[in-house]
Amino acid sequence: MSPASTSAYLVLSDGTVYRGEAFGARGEGEGEVVFHTAMTGYQEILTDPSYAGQIVCMTYPEIGNVGTNPQDEESCGIFLRGFVVREHVDFPSSWRSRESLQAYLERHHIPGISEIDTRALVRRIRTQGAMNGVLVHGEASQEELVARARALPSMAGRNLVDEVTCREPYRWDQGRDWAPDPAPMPRYHVVAYDFGVKRNILRNLVNAGFEVTVVPAHTSAEEVLALQPDGIFLSNGPGDPAAVEYAIPNVRKLVGKRPLFGICLGHQILGLALGGRTKKLRFGHHGANQPAQDQATGRVLIVSENHGFALDADSLASNSELEITHINLNDRTVEGLRHRRLPLFSVQYHPEASPGPHDAAHLFSRFRKLIEGQRAQA
């Protein structure tokens, strides 16, 4: 640690203390500590609303080398509580960079800690499970920090969607600027529930041929149907899906009324609406290298994921009309769901992942074809 640097501490609820160097905004943050295994895309991770209430540790050792830019933002801000890296880069090298990671975190008031053994931290989380922690800059009483970490609420039972959803409906018409082909015509109208939606999901919907109206998470089923959509999308988001109690009956009312497509938290809420249950995972799936196997073809997709809860496969077994379409090969958790009779499907992973992988990007076209099929039958 250099003489001019400021000490920083990450203290876990089990009493473990990591001392490193402060970077980012001076201050403190608290929340559930999780790790992310992606080698690239740290700005997308920072701006993903699904990380609300969490402190994120990057397993890749050098972070900040490509800086930050407005095009890579997944939302209007940063919702995580703290950022943990082995080494952060002060002087980025990329023609796309407009701001360093240090300046970006300062502007968004997010504290960070570097120069700690992130491998040891990841091993502890994998062994003990995700746990709460406190990140502070400057000297502080470690005993008090441990007590604070232990007093924090569990992620189980927390509705964090209300912290990240939009306040008013809005239209989204921006597609991917790197898409090889223009969006197909005719265009269909999709209403997207914002449980913490990522912008690249909306871009992919546009490029699949949709006009997109985004609505707040608490919007009633009746209000959504009044917008006369051709399909309804259920977005990703943070926290415990079972705690978003108003969303489950709303989605249940929409089942069978319009084609439905859910991603991540939206997948879980759809499963709950269909009679399933969710469970908290030991340390969750956070990374860009998760293996999801298609149960029909045996094909394995490498996908990006970010979730701490999953649908309980046993709770879905009693409904013979539900089919588990994908499973995670690491822990056999549910990665995909569809109804055998009604026009709906969902996935736990992120087919829109920016910067990737893109193995599952075809699902947006599948949603379009599902809507086309329903219109042909009407």
Q: Left if phi > 0, otherwise alpha if psi is -120 to 50, otherwise beta: which for 109?
A: left
**Active-site choice (44, 73, 74, 352):** 352
Q: Left if phi > 0, otherwise alpha if psi is -120 to 50, otherwise beta: which for 262?
A: beta
**In the annotation, is 108 catalytic?**
no
In the block, residue with structure tokens 């991917």: 176
**In the annotation, is 350 catalytic?**
yes
Beta strand pairing status for 82-84 and 54-58? parallel
From CA 122, how far away is CA 241, in angstroms rounded? 25
**Beta strand spans in the chain (E):** 7-12, 17-24, 28-36, 54-58, 62-63, 82-84, 87-88, 111-114, 131-137, 170-172, 188-194, 210-216, 231-234, 260-263, 278-294, 300-311, 322-328, 334-339, 344-347
Structure tokens at 339: 């109804």
For 284, residues 6+ apart whose C-beta sits below 8 A from its C-beta are 34, 130, 306, 307, 308, 309
**Active-site choice (137, 264, 285, 326):** 264
Q: What is the DSSP letter of 376?
A: H
Which sequence positions are flagged as catalytic?
264, 350, 352
